[in-house]
A and B are shown apart, each in its own frame.
Chain A
Amino acid sequence: MAGYNKKEEHAHAKAELHTHGEEHFREKHLMLDPLPRGQMNDMVMESMMEKPTWRYWLVFATLSVIVAYCLFYKWGVLIMYGQGEAGVMRPDYWGIFLVNTVFWIGISHAGTFISAILRVFRAEFRRPFTRAAELMTTFGLVQAGFSIFMHLGRVWLAYWLMPYANQRMLWPNLHSPLTWDLLAITTYLLSSTMYLFLPLIPDVAMARDRSTGWRKNFYKILALGFRGTEGEWTHLRNAMNIFAFAIIPVMFSVHTIVSWDFAAATRPGWSSTIFGPYFIVGALHSGMGAAAIVLAVIRATMKHMKYFIRGEHFDAIGKLMLIISMAWAYFFFNDYMVQWYGGDKWTQQLLHFHEAGPMGWMWFGMLICNIAVPWAILWNAKWRATPWLIATVGIVINVGMWFERYIIIPVSVTINRMPFTWRLYEPGIEIPMGIGTLALFILLYMAASKLIPLIPVWEVQEGQMAHEFKKFGRETVISVSELE
């Protein structure tokens, strides 16, 4: 054909590839797919204020009934009739209440990981779901707080554990890991709530501008009169930076101190020096799984969320889940190998009891759920980007991690140095109460999804501003500017 030659064809094809490449990037990456801020605001407001369907109300009502009966009524029974309603006895003085406490604190750590550690490391993919993760932290800590109060013999006197000047001139015992627990968890709860609130202020200001009636009043109060002046942004950004850096050591210290409740004790199997980092990695393991579940549910049930939460985010979370699973396996093996090798007769009995005793199925289940399933599925990039699959792996990991804490607490504590006392723990009222805490967690989340904007739109826009396409030689690459 006249005028048509190889060179033109080549150039034409390359031009197509170029635009197709960019389009492909735009589809995959939220940061490269900017929409006008007004439109994004609209989407977030719509997904929040969308009239709840009958399905929503059905789930809400069911959860409310479960919370009322399993959590509050049963707790009343527990307080009335004593810890005998639970399954605890000699030698298992601690049972599922402690398992649930560690479990919920573990889940809360992933929220901080996503909103603080990923911010410090400038992982841009975190932008749309930091708030969803922080909500997980706050609500998880509420459940952890409930669970720890549930196990107290005289919970109405729990205020004695606080340091306050009193007529008896008594202060709490600072030698005790439980006192450190109290200080650490209080610090963490307050810090993560404040860290949830600070980036929320500009978004509730946006919601205030776009709503009427009771919602407008509600957001107006929450927004504190925020406008977006230079001063306000400077103070806010400064504070958020301080929080992001400071809350990381707090997060590490909290779960380490929780692990010291066990590691500081003289029990075989508990007195292990590796518990600190082992528990932190375990917390991240279960927390990442929970984050995947939460994001998958949000994406599936709320309008417009498919724009904000994409396969790339599940891919990133899936990669984190795989790495953390490997780290967990490393720490588990460390703990196990050193105990196995040591030859201490009580520890040998304990390890044998773990694997071959009546709860052996749980021990093996833990390993399958925490190691085998993640390693089998998460290596595949396509699978990682599939929300429901990652959420399922998340559920499996959470089951496995709950098993792990059950093995560490009630099962390990059965084997001590006084064989006459060895007896297996049988859960009692802890089961419905634990289910109650799970129902309350979901309930709080459902309420929050209708009350506050779940996506930090200003952070998403900030990220989108920083991303652009750049040509490196013949290739089009993504370039991220550091705007701070």
Chain B
Amino acid sequence: MADNISSAERSGSVSSAEPSGSVSLLAVFPDLMPAADALDQLRALGLSDDHMNVISGIPVTEAMLGRPSQWTNVPLLAAGGSILGFLAGAFLVFATPNLYPVPIQVGRQAFVPGPPTVVVLFELTMLGMLLSTFLGVFLDSYFPNYRPMEYVKEISDGKIAIFFICPEESRDKFTKAMTALGAEKVEVAEVEHL
């Protein structure tokens, strides 16, 4: 759901992703333990993991907060990119010498020489892998995303924010529960330009 939030916002209609009559709140915690407790409490109050997201200034692993593991496509894209790179290298090494009307002979080396083949294939495989890893981050995180998003500046100061969607009528209950566990502030998540 971590990315579902952003995709919902990208389509411009935040409310269509939530049942009508619900509100999205942002609770800011100063430290790891209160945030982990808060997530347990939210689960106890009936929210599913899908309706919660953690936004933080340092990479807290999902395990530290008791969250389900986040799926990422980046390794798959890296593997795919390395295959593409390999194929590009294979084209250069195996196909291009045969594209000439008379194969070009240089020195005593075979037309498809052994060691240079290894070098070229290696370099282009690595290039493919790293380029696609980089692009994978962009694709998976929907970067660049300059639309207004839910965010508070305190997050980059090291706070851990929990973004959750709860029914409108139990808003006070949730707010009290978060504050009791140590939230510095609980507010309606405003979409703002970052």
Question: Which residue numbers of A lie inside 8 Å of B, CB to CB?
Answer: 36-38, 41, 163, 169, 171, 173-175, 179-180, 183-184, 186-187, 190-191, 194, 197-198, 202, 205-206, 208-210, 220-221, 223-239, 242-243, 246-247, 249-250, 253, 257, 458, 461-462, 465, 483-484
Contacts and interface: CB of A to CB of B under 8 A. Distances in A.
A205 B57 CA distance: 10
A484 B59 CA distance: 9
A414 B67 CA distance: 67
A234 B156 contact: no
Contacts of A38: 157-158
A175 B158 contact: no
B: contact size bracket: 35 or more
A237 B117 CA distance: 33
Contacts of A465: 58
B144 to A, nearest CB: 4
Contacts of A231: 2-3, 6, 70, 72, 140-141
B3 A253 contact: no
B93 interface: yes
A458 B58 contact: yes
A41 B154 CA distance: 11
A223 B194 contact: yes
Contact of A235 (B126, B127, B140): B140
Given A209-B153, A484-B61, A190 B70 contact: no
B127 A186 contact: yes
B96 A171 contact: yes
B30 to A, nearest CB: 9
A461 B72 CA distance: 24
Contact of B133 (A183, A225, A228, A243): A243
A122 to B, nearest CB: 15
Contacts of A226: 141, 143
Interface stretch (B14-22, B99-107, B167-175, B177-185): B99-107
Contact of A234 (B72, B116, B129): B72
Interface of B: 2-3, 5-6, 53-62, 64, 67, 70, 72-75, 78, 92-93, 96, 99-100, 104, 106-107, 109, 113, 116-117, 119-120, 122-124, 126-127, 129-131, 133-134, 136-138, 140-147, 149-151, 153, 155-158, 194
Given A242-B78, A250-B126, A229 B54 contact: yes
Nearest to B134: A194
A465 to B, nearest CB: 7
B146 A227 contact: no
B158 A37 contact: yes
B133 A242 contact: yes
Q: Which 6 A-B pairs have the closest CB atoms?
A: A37-B158, A225-B145, A231-B2, A206-B156, A38-B157, A224-B143
B107 A175 contact: yes
B70 A234 contact: yes
B57 A230 contact: no
A202 B57 contact: yes
Contacts of B151: 227
Given A173-B106, A235-B140, A243-B130, A227 B194 contact: yes
